[in-house]
């Protein structure tokens, strides 16, 4: 029996976040340049988005480029930006066909102008789609996001528009780039690294973490379904004891 058949379709996570890691090592293993790994990784993204659409995952967030990734060799950064631009433009039609809305989080204004424009365009042409929201984390860092939210709140306090005791989890959430997305129930990281790398720190306070050795360009929907089956075997207690659940 495949993993898809083992899924409990009534207990799917609403939101899955993925750290797509291992493109460079995948390419190197074959004696190819790192960029070849990134290009191949796009095929995994397409398959995973279709897998999510197929089973009914409402939100998928993928970490595509971190703030720290700006420190990579300039040739790799440029290649990643070009790949991003070509991919979002090539995929606009497929996103619409699959009823997927494109969204982006991160310090988007630090991206090349062409990237900003094309992203805005594809987000606009897919904005009415409702089956799944695909969020790209681009030039994203959780510490950047939390600091930005804190500054916005501090500004409102300073201007006398907000009292200290009005600062709640909900109010803080509303200042995050993910304000209109529920927290992920499941986070997957490929390539055998066991770390968060500055991804969704606030939002993942109670997320189930799943790590796999599989490198991102080898990750396909069957691997996603395997991760969800694993997630569905877990007991999420949120601080309570087993007997209190149900």
195 has binding-site annotation: yes
Query: Cα–Cα distance between 61 and 18 in angstroms, integer?
Result: 6
Tell me which stretch binds ligand IPE (CB under 6 A): 64-72, 92-100, 156-164, 225-233.
Answer: 64-72
Q: Cα angle at 195 between 191 and 199, to 5 degrees?
A: 105
Q: Is residue 184 a contact point for ligand IPE (CB under 6 A)?
A: no
Q: What is the 3-state secondary structure (H, E, C) of 134-163?
A: EEEEEEECHHHHHHHHHHHHHHHHHCCCCC
Q: How far apart are the first and last CA of the chain?
A: 28
Q: Which of 21, 98, 103, 118 is catalytic?
A: 21
The least CB distance from residue 225 to ligand IPE, in Å, is 21
Query: Cα–Cα distance between 159 and 153 in angstroms, integer?
Result: 10
Closest CA to 126 of 161, 163, 99, 88: 99
Nearest residue to Mg ion, scored by beta-carbon proximity: 21
Q: Which of 10, 29, 54, 69 is catalytic?
A: 69
Copy the structure tokens of residue 1: 């029996």
Query: Cα–Cα distance between 52 and 228 in angstroms, integer?
Result: 11
Closest CA to 223 of 175, 190, 177: 190
Strand partners, 136: 62, 104
Tell me which stretch binds ligand IPE (CB under 6 A): 6-14, 17-25, 48-56, 111-119.
Answer: 17-25
Binding site partner of 69, from Mg ion, ligand IPE, none, Cβ cut-off 5-8 A by kind: ligand IPE
Cβ-based nearer residue to Mg ion, 21 or 226: 21
Cβ-based nearer residue to ligand IPE, 61 or 98: 61
* Residue 230 annotated as catalytic: no
Site for Mg ion in 45-104 (CB under 5 A): none
* Residue 21 annotated as catalytic: yes
Site for Mg ion in 4-33 (CB under 5 A): 21
Q: Is residue 63 a contact point for ligand IPE (CB under 6 A)?
A: yes
The footprint of ligand IPE (CB under 6 A) covers 19-25, 63-66, 68-69, 80, 191, 193, 195, 197
Question: Which residues are annotated as catalytic?
Answer: 21, 69
């Amino acid at each position: 029996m495949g993993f898809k058949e083992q899924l409990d379709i009534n207990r799917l996570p609403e939101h899955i976040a993925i750290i797509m890691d291992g493109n460079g090592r995948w390419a190197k293993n074959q004696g190819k340049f790192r960029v070849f790994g990134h290009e191949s990784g796009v095929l995994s993204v397409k398959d995973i988005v279709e897998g999510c659409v197929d089973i009914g995952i409402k939100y998928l967030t993928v970490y595509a480029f971190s703030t720290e990734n700006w420190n990579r060799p300039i040739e790799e950064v440029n290649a990643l930006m070009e790949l991003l631009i070509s991919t979002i433009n090539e995929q606009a039609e497929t996103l619409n066909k699959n009823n997927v809305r494109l969204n982006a989080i991160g310090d988007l204004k630090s991206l090349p102008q062409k990237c900003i424009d094309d992203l805005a365009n594809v987000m606009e042409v897919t904005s009415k789609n409702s089956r799944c929201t695909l969020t790209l984390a681009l030039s994203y860092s959780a510490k950047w996001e939390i600091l930005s939210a804190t500054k916005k709140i501090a500004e409102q306090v300073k201007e006398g528009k907000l009292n200290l005791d009005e600062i709640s989890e909900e109010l803080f959430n509303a200042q995050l780039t993910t304000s209109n997305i529920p927290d992920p129930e499941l986070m997957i990281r490929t390539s055998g690294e066991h770390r968060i790398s500055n991804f969704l720190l606030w939002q993942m306070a109670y997320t189930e973490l799943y790590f796999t050795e599989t490198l991102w360009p080898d990750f396909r929907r069957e691997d996603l379904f395997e991760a969800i089956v694993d997630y569905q075997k877990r007991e999420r207690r949120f601080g309570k004891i087993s007997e209190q659940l149900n």
